[in-house]
């Protein structure tokens, strides 16, 4: 696979000429399309390996077993310590062929956080590992980068307009991200089902001005960043997929509201780090049931630090994530800085309203605490702040722990 | 705002000239203008001569088809004595027009029309008012046409350009759900190709599209058809439609013969941005006449939201506050206006500038019916026996509600709020 291709003279003229003509003739355009019409030098990824190698398959995760939901939860087929059947992705980069084959039925929730860089080629190889529990389903999979500007259908992943990956096959998606920001990705094949079953995650693009900025704007500098990925589990639908049944999606009524693939208090457990010898995920320290839910939502920062929260919602309901006691500055929505020329539309709030398929970037400054202080970030939709209707707190909630000092710098990427 | 003063004057002159021309033409009887064979895609305007357009709407019963094979009993607005259609006609007027709407009621219940966003609406020549019965109980949001052949005449001056709904104002939980609604487009005076009175809201008039989002509880419709009571506490939408159609009917042409009462398609048919030949974007006018949020997600590129509810997104000093978004979260009763262009950002070309990844052989892939090839204007061969809908190597991008339960329907997937954007190769091309 030859990834290097110089910009041909013809191509340069085509694009450069377009930019000139656009400047002369721009009427309704405003600043729209600027990044396309004024192309920046593009860095070809040097490695022959894809940036991410997603495996699409089924698997099991663990959600609280109290209360039970008659028939549906916990699933009678679930192997201990798990409860709930899912479809999902894994990152297979670095695994041997044997290890890759072994990851069938070991999907994770939510999908790996993918990080790209503006103007740097980005390759995602997708392998369909098949569904171990449902060999009767011969579903293909795709990867749809939700919000990618000026996509061509081949790399869009909507199956009717594109190509999909059958079981045992693979396809490499190519992206040249020209616009930084917070996006999301998901399988688009039989989308109502595959998205709800968990083939969903976050991809974001770092700007060229530096890795500690959200956008190409000095006001978006941060010290730490956390992805806050919202999704839902309707136990009946997950049970139905495991038991060769079909739900009526118009009866949709979720039982669990997930933050980065977990529900409170599991959201506070640490990240799962690395793979075992078989290529499977290691469980987070102290939480063996979270082996396939590797992403922590615990926010930790020192007083005065700027913390970027990247909210993404791929559930089917609108949510209201609130952080009482700390104002969040909403700087961007849908991977677009809330600025238009000199007009600044960023705003302070305690509550982020976010609907299905939306992303919101917010930065807060950690309060000047003099002792360790805990704030709560949770869904203000209080009927979603529980686990399957049980007593006590659950759902989309996590803690924001601010210390006067001593939290080590964030060097291992988001949510660390 | 880069459009020069002289250009604006020029547009105004052009419009005045064409209005003068139209005024000299004999009017085709008293009926309003409606193309006999509308363009296959794009908004189908029902118009009448400015500055006093008059429309006659008849509220009546009929049926629409749902792609799962179900048939739904509906109430809707027909134009004059025309056949039943759903939704009601798209009324397009100019800013400053005095718009008159004569409502005839062929329904067995009194009905009315409210015009959210219009001010000083008159009913039979006096200010339209909420209606109360003798005991002071509210009976209608506005003046009504009596059941079974009553009539009423509404009029208003369309003062603000933008995208608006018109809908029943009487027992509207039932009547709007039954289908009594439509779209009203008010075009800026002198600038019929602008959405608002701003040069940066200019759109290409050949690529003006409507996404009118609605929902249906089939049990309510069945109850009305059978003259039974329906308890609104049991309300639950099971179907979700665009322009009165479910997918894939949404991408069928305007006026498709097999959808006799659902005349409005929702396919957005465009060409790539080109600074010389296609510099002006398309516009999509989103309207939500349902009771739920519809977070709409057009694939392919961001949309540029330029206004909402008949108000341009601008600051107090006319600053442009338009925003690129990949989700258009249209709430109940809202309208959103967004321009859209698709840029051939990478100019992939099979001979000189191929995509930098290998496409597996056909037998290792699942082909979508609308897929053509990686290259705009190239139609690759595909495995025998696969459904092939691509005509000339055009690109398709889906545009759909991202509450994915609403692209499903009562026990069936992919019959709801989804449509496509079709991007043809630059002209001249071989496309039909």
Quickly list DSSP for B366-421: EE-TT---SSTT------TTS----SSS-EEEEEEESSGGGSSBTTBSS-SSEEEE
**Range A176-204 average pLDDT:** 98
pLDDT on residue B407: 98
Which structure tokens are listed for A8?
Answer: 């041909």
- Check B345 against A178: CB less than 8 A apart: yes
Q: How many CB atoms lie within 10 A of CB B222?
A: 13
pLDDT on residue B2: 38
Q: How far is B331 from chain A (nearest CA, A)?
A: 11
The answer on pLDDT for A348 being more than 90 is yes
Average the pLDDT over each of A35-39, A157-161, B337-341, B400-404 and give the range with the smallest value.
A35-39
Best residue in B297, B345, B369, B422 for a mutation probing chain A (most A CBs within 10 Å):
B345
Q: Are A345 and B323 in contact (CB under 8 A)?
A: yes
The DSSP symbol for B6 reads H
Give the whole-angstrom CA distance, residue A3 versus residue A383: 50
Q: Are B159 and B95 in contact (CB under 8 A)?
A: yes
Q: How far is B181 from chain A (nearest CA, A)?
A: 24
Closest CA to B85 of B341, B305, B260, B227: B260
Q: Are B238 and B315 in contact (CB under 8 A)?
A: no
**Range A229-244 average pLDDT:** 98
Give, for all 432 residues of chain B, the pLDDT tens digit: 333 333 333 444 444 434 443 343 333 334 455 555 789 999 999 999 999 999 999 999 999 999 999 999 999 999 999 999 999 999 999 999 999 999 999 999 999 999 999 999 999 999 999 999 999 999 999 999 999 999 999 999 999 999 999 999 999 999 999 999 999 999 999 999 999 999 999 999 999 999 999 999 999 999 999 999 999 999 999 999 999 999 999 999 999 999 999 999 999 999 999 999 999 999 999 999 999 999 999 999 999 999 999 999 999 999 999 999 999 999 999 999 999 999 999 999 999 999 999 999 999 999 999 999 999 999 999 999 999 999 999 999 999 999 999 999 999 999 999 999 999 999 999 999
- Check B404 against A121: CB less than 8 A apart: no
Best residue in B68, B358, B405, B425 for a mutation probing chain A (most A CBs within 10 Å):
B405
- Write out chain B residues lying below 8 Å of A176, CB-based: 345-346
Question: Given the structure tokens 């058809």, which residue do they identify?
Answer: B225
b/e code A56-78 from CB counts within 10 Å (16+ = b):
bbbbbbbbbbeeebeebbbbeeb
B242 - beta bridge partners?
Answer: B213, B245
Give the whole-angstrom CA distance, residue A269 versus residue A284: 7
pLDDT on residue B58: 98
Give the whole-angstrom CA distance, residue A52 versus residue A49: 8
- Check A121 against B300: CB less than 8 A apart: no
- Check A165 against B354: CB less than 8 A apart: no
Q: How many CB atoms lie within 10 A of CB B351?
A: 6
Give the whole-angstrom CA distance, residue B175 versus residue B74: 9
SS3 readout for B311-359 = EECECCCCCECCEEECCEEECCCCEEEEEECCCCCCCCECCCECCCCCC
More confident residue, A44 or B27: A44
Length of chain B: 432
- Check B237 against A195: CB less than 8 A apart: no
- Check B368 against A32: CB less than 8 A apart: no
pLDDT on residue B64: 98
A contact residues 138-177, partner B, Cβ 8 Å cutoff: 140, 144, 146-147, 149-154, 156, 158-166, 169-174, 176
pTM of the model: 0.92
Arithmetic mean of pLDDT over chain A = 91
Chain B residue with the nearest C-alpha to that of A148: B301
Give the whole-angstrom CA distance, residue A248 versus residue B346: 41
| Residue B191: HSE in the Cβ half-sphere, 13 Å Cα cutoff | 18
- Check B405 against A123: CB less than 8 A apart: no
pLDDT on residue A38: 64
Give the whole-angstrom CA distance, residue A61 versus residue B321: 44
Q: In degrees rounded to 5, what are phi and psi of residue B59?
A: -80, 120
Burial of B83 (0-12, 13-18, 19+ CB in 10 A): exposed
- Check A161 against B395: CB less than 8 A apart: yes
- Write out chain A residues lying below 8 Å of B354, CB-based: 5
Residue A97 DSSP SS3: helix
Residue B19: partners with Cβ closer than 8 Å, 6 or more residues away: B50
**Range A273-291 average pLDDT:** 97
Closest CA to A131 of A120, A123, A139: A139
Chain B residue with the nearest C-alpha to that of A2: B356
More confident residue, B20 or A270: A270
SS3 readout for A18-33 = HHHHHHHHCCCCCCCC
Closest CA to B268 of B294, B241, B243, B305: B243
Residue B175 DSSP SS3: helix
Q: Are A205 and A180 in contact (CB under 8 A)?
A: yes
Residue A159 DSSP SS3: helix
Closest Cβ–Cβ partner in A3, A158, A336 for B324: A336
> Using one digit for the tens of pLDDT, what is the confidence trace for A360-392?
999 999 999 999 999 999 999 999 999 999 999
Which structure tokens are listed for B386?
Answer: 């696969």
Give the whole-angstrom CA distance, residue A124 versus residue B291: 39
Q: In degrees rounded to 5, what are phi and psi of residue A13?
A: -60, -40
Please tell me if residue A339 touches chain B, with a CB cutoff of 8 Å.
Answer: no
- Write out chain B residues lying below 8 Å of A26, CB-based: 2, 279
- Check A147 against B326: CB less than 8 A apart: yes
The DSSP symbol for A269 reads S
- Write out chain B residues lying below 8 Å of A10, CB-based: 352-353
pLDDT on residue A35: 72
Residue A163: partners with Cβ closer than 8 Å, 6 or more residues away: A142, A154, A171, B359, B365, B366, B367, B368, B371
- Check A342 against B319: CB less than 8 A apart: yes
The answer on pLDDT for A42 being more than 80 is no
Closest Cβ–Cβ partner in B329, B345, B356 for A36: B345
- Write out chain A residues lying below 8 Å of B391, CB-based: none
Please tell me if residue A21 touches chain B, with a CB cutoff of 8 Å.
Answer: yes
pLDDT band at A2 (very low <50, low <70, confident <90, very high): very low
Closest Cβ–Cβ partner in B327, B353, B367 for A163: B367
Q: What is the largest CA-CA distance in chain B?
A: 79
Please tell me if residue A342 touches chain B, with a CB cutoff of 8 Å.
Answer: yes
DSSP string, A359-389: EEEEEEEPP--SS-EEEEEEES-GGGSSSTT
Q: In degrees rounded to 5, what are phi and psi of residue A239?
A: -60, -40
Chain A residue with the nearest C-alpha to that of B2: A27
pLDDT on residue A32: 54
Give the whole-angstrom CA distance, residue A18 versus residue A128: 40
How many contacts (CB atoms, under 8 Å) link A and B?
Answer: 244
- Check B300 against A151: CB less than 8 A apart: yes
Q: Are strands B294-298 and B303-308 parallel, antiparallel or unpaired?
A: unpaired
Closest CA to A91 of A137, A122, A57: A57
pLDDT on residue A40: 65
Closest Cβ–Cβ partner in A162, A196, A341 for B320: A341
Q: How far is A25 from chain B (nearest CA, A)?
A: 7
Q: Are A213 and A331 in contact (CB under 8 A)?
A: no
> Using one digit for the tens of pLDDT, what is the confidence trace for B166-201?
999 999 999 999 999 999 999 999 999 999 999 999
Q: In degrees rounded to 5, what are phi and psi of residue B103?
A: -100, 120
Average the pLDDT over each of A36-40, A128-132, A218-222 and give the range with the smallest value.
A36-40
Best residue in B236, B324, B347 for a mutation probing chain A (most A CBs within 10 Å):
B324
pLDDT on residue B38: 83
The answer on pLDDT for A222 being more than 50 is yes
Chain B residue with the nearest C-alpha to that of A315: B403
């Amino acid at each position: 696979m030859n990834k290097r291709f110089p910009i041909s003279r013809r191509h340069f003229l085509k694009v450069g000429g377009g930019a000139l003509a656009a400047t002369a003739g721009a009427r309704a355009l405003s600043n729209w399309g600027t990044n396309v019409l004024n192309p920046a030098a593009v860095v070809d990824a040097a490695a022959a390996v894809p940036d991410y190698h997603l495996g699409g398959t089924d698997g099991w995760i663990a959600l609280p077993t109290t209360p039970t939901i008659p028939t549906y939860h916990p699933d009678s087929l679930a192997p201990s310590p798990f409860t709930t059947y899912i479809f999902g992705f894994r990152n297979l980069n670095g695994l041997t062929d044997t290890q890759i084959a072994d990851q069938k039925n070991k999907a994770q929730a939510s999908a790996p956080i993918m990080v790209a860089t503006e103007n740097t080629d980005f390759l995602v190889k997708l392998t369909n590992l098949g569904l171990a529990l449902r060999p009767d389903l011969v579903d293909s999979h795709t990867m749809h980068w939700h919000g990618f500007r000026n996509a061509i259908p081949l790399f869009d992943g909507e199956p009717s307009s594109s190509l999909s990956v059958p079981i045992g096959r693979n396809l490499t998606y190519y992206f040249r991200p020209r616009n930084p920001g917070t996006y999301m990705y998901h399988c688009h094949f039989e989308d109502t089902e595959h998205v709800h079953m968990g083939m969903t995650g976050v991809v974001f693009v770092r700007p060229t001005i530096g890795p500690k900025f959200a956008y190409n704007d000095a006001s978006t500098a941060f010290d730490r960043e956390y992805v806050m990925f919202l999704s839902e589990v309707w136990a009946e639908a997950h049970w139905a997929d495991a038991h060769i049944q079909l739900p009526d999606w118009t009866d949709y009524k979720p039982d669990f509201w997930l933050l980065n693939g977990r529900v409170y208090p599991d959201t506070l457990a640490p990240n799962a780090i690395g793979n075992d010898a078989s290529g499977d995920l290691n469980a987070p320290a102290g939480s063996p049931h979270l082996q396939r839910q590797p992403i922590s939502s615990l926010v930790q920062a020192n007083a005065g630090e700027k913390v970027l929260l990247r909210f993404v919602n791929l559930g089917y309901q609108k949510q209201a994530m609130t952080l009482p006691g700390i104002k969040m500055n909403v700087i961007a929505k849908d991977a677009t800085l809330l600025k238009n020329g000199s007009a600044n539309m960023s705003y302070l709030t305690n509550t982020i309203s976010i609907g299905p398929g939306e992303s919101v970037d917010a930065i807060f400054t950690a309060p000047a605490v003099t002792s360790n202080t805990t704030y709560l970030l949770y869904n203000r939709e209080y009927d979603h702040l529980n686990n399957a209707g049980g007593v006590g707190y659950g759902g989309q909630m996590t803690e924001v722990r601010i210390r006067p000092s001593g939290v080590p710098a964030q060097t291992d990427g988001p949510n660390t | 705002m880069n459009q020069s003063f002289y250009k604006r004057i020029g547009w105004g002159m052009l419009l005045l000239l064409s209005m003068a021309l139209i005024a000299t033409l004999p009017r085709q009887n008293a009926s309003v203008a409606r193309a006999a064979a509308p363009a296959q895609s794009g908004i189908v305007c029902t118009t009448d001569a400015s500055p006093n357009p008059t429309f006659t709407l008849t509220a009546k019963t009929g049926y629409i088809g749902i792609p799962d094979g179900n048939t739904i009993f509906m109430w809707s607005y027909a134009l004059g004595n025309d056949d039943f259609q759903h939704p009601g006609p798209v009324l397009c007027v100019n800013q400053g027009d005095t718009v008159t709407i004569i409502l005839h009621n062929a329904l067995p219940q009194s009905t009315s029309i409210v015009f959210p966003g219009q001010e000083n609406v008159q009913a039979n020549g006096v200010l339209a008012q909420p209606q109360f019965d003798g005991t002071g109980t509210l009976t209608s949001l506005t003046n009504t046409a009596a059941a079974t052949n009553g009539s009423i005449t509404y009029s208003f001056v369309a003062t603000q350009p933008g995208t608006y709904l018109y809908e029943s104002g009487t027992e509207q939980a039932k009547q709007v759900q039954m289908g009594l609604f439509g779209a009203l487009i008010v075009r800026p005076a002198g600038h019929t190709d602008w959405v608002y009175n701003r040069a940066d809201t200019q759109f290409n008039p050949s690529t003006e599209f409507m996404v009118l989002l609605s929902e249906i509880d089939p049990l309510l419709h069945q109850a009305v058809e059978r003259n039974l009571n329906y308890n609104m506490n049991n309300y639950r939408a099971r179907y979700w439609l665009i322009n009165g159609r479910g997918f894939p009917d949404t991408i069928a042409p305007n006026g498709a013969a097999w959808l006799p009462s659902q005349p409005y398609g929702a396919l957005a048919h465009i060409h790539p941005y080109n600074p010389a030949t296609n510099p002006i974007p398309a516009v999509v006018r989103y309207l939500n006449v349902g009771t739920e949020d519809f977070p709409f997600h057009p694939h392919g590129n961001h949309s540029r939201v330029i206004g909402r509810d008949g108000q341009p997104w601008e600051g107090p000093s006319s600053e442009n506050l338009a925003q690129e978004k990949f989700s258009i979260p249209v709430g109940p009763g809202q309208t959103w206006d967004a321009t859209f262009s698709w840029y051939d950002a990478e100019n992939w070309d099979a001979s000189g500038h191929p995509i930098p990844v290998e496409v597996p052989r056909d037998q290792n892939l699942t082909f979508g019916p609308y897929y053509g090839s990686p290259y705009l204007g190239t139609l690759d061969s595909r495995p025998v026996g696969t459904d092939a809908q691509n005509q000339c190597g055009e690109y398709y991008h889906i545009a759909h509600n991202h509450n994915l339960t609403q692209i499903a329907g009562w026990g069936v997937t992919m019959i709801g709020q989804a449509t496509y954007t079709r991007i043809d190769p630059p002209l001249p091309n071989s496309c039909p």
